[in-house]
Amino acid sequence: RYTAKELLNDLNRLPSADIFSIGLMLYEIASIHTMEPANEIDGILGRPLRSLPTEREEWHRLRDGAAPPLVGRPQTMANMVQALLQPNLDRRPTVSQLLVIAEI
């Protein structure tokens, strides 16, 4: 579910894949109350909101960098999550780089 795209195509496990996975978890946590119900009936019945995709194509769009923006969250957090979800593994931040962000 939280697998980086490069792991789907390659057996080499790099720390940047873990960074991507952390980004998806943070994205899910940060967006859980800001997303729309999966459909009108779910909204009326108060069922849980759909946070991450359930379909394969939607997952591939997330892995390609097409995550909807985080609404109602601090811009620093939105920027950090966007960086963690960077499709280009060489452009994702390292743990050391993340730790220098004051808000973390």
Supply the pTM of this predicted model: 0.75
User: Tell me, what's the pLDDT at 57?
Assistant: 80
Q: pLDDT (tens digit, 9 = 90+) per residue, 16-28?
A: 999 999 999 998 8
* Cα gap 96→68, rounded to integer Å: 26
Buried b (16+ CB within 10 A) or exposed e, 79-104: ebbebbbbeebeebbeeeeeeeeeee
Cα–Cα dist 36/44, whole Å: 12
Residue 52 token pair: 């991450």
- Dmax (CA) of the chain: 45
| 32 pLDDT more than 90 | no
